[in-house]
Chain A
């Protein structure tokens, strides 16, 4: 038994020694490796050239100073890099930018659809793909900058103006009192142009402003609006959708009969007569007050039917589009200017043009005769 104790103590001592040796070896290996790799000296810290240890890098403890001795910078913000577009952004701007850039926020889908609508409109006009929204990145950035104005209080003047112009059109379309706002805008532009200069620009501008308001319906428009609309557009209500055709007056989808019908239905016969008479009788350009409605006084009872027949066969409408370059705005609806100045040519001119472009019913020729009779009075 005593041997056992001796044995045990001996053994335990040797075991302990082994354990300690192992520990020492561990340390030695570490140090040896460090010295061989060359970073042994680094563990102590760097010494300055003047012999003072670590003065330049010593830990600073002081009021309002960080460990390196720098005062706290309030204005400097962390700069982040956007993962999708790889732009550096200030931290405060990062969240809204990311919302737009990645298209997951509330506004971003709205903005995207708006952009698509705009570019598709412009793209149709120009026919080029440049205006289209096909390129994702440039437009993404553009919209992002545009929308930044939403977040900042001021925004820039440039952005404001652009946004206002943009919003004007859009606001008009969103007015729920019925596109009257939009069409009054159209009417206003029409009035502004005074109908004096019947430039080609006027018609498209009007069309664009009214068109930009989305689907129109005759219910929402007032009388004046309908008149101005029907002066520019085909206006025939489609059976399928119930919307009016916004194509030009020479729209090939709808026949002249349809156009006449819709005008009759909507505006009543009196409008037509006034409309047509005004354009035919007046030789001078119409004042801004008389938009399409001219000179009821010269209307004669007997000729109403003839006039109607003659002029609603689409000839007047045809000529309206053909004579888009003529001077008087009233001429847009008919061949007044030509008829006023050159009595003979309208007949031939009309015929010729009719033959070339439309198949008009034969009675229109008789109507022309009636027309000239009317004019001669």
Chain B
């Protein structure tokens, strides 16, 4: 656990996490995932009560579906990057 925290801290400090974030967002918009999720949200709003629809409600409804919609290529790309980073850092630590 401690190692995870350490690694997480490293990720954030170095700014790597932000870079990954931006990259992911770009990739998802390009592939149209963002629009799909938007549609999901709209549907959810229409189904539910428009006035009372909160962010949390939407979140709970939409997030699982959104996760599945992420294309594999994007997933793999990012995973690779994260792993590389982690491995580098873990090796350094261990050494």
Contact = CB atoms under 8 A, between A and B. Distances in A.
Interface of A: 4, 7-9, 11-13, 15-17, 19-32, 35, 40
Where chain B touches its partner, the secondary structure class is helix
B58 A7 contact: no
28 contacts: A7-B4, A8-B87, A11-B4, A11-B82, A11-B86, A13-B79, A15-B17, A15-B20, A16-B78, A20-B24, A20-B66, A23-B24, A23-B25, A23-B34, A24-B59, A27-B38, A28-B55, A30-B38, A31-B38, A31-B41, A32-B41, A32-B45, A32-B54, A32-B58, A35-B45, A35-B50, A35-B53, A40-B45
Interface string B71-89: 0000100110011001100
Contacts of B58: 28, 31-32
A94 B54 CA distance: 56
A346 to B, nearest CB: 112
Find the residue from B45, B59, B82, B94 having the highest chain A CB count within 10 A.
B82
Given A20-B67, A40-B42, 17 more contacts: A4-B87, A7-B3, A8-B83, A11-B7, A11-B82, A11-B86, A13-B79, A16-B75, A23-B28, A23-B34, A24-B66, A24-B67, A27-B37, A28-B41, A32-B53, A32-B54, A35-B45
Categorize the interface residue count of chain B: 35 or more
A322 B5 CA distance: 118
A28 B59 contact: yes
B82 A26 contact: no
B92 to A, nearest CB: 12
A4 B79 CA distance: 16
B41 to A, nearest CB: 4
Contacts of B75: 16
Contact of A29 (B17, B25, B45, B55): B55
Contacts of B59: 24-25, 28
Find the residue from A8, A15, A21 having the highest chain B CB count within 10 A.
A15
A8 B45 contact: no
Contacts of A4: 87, 90, 94
Contacts of B17: 15
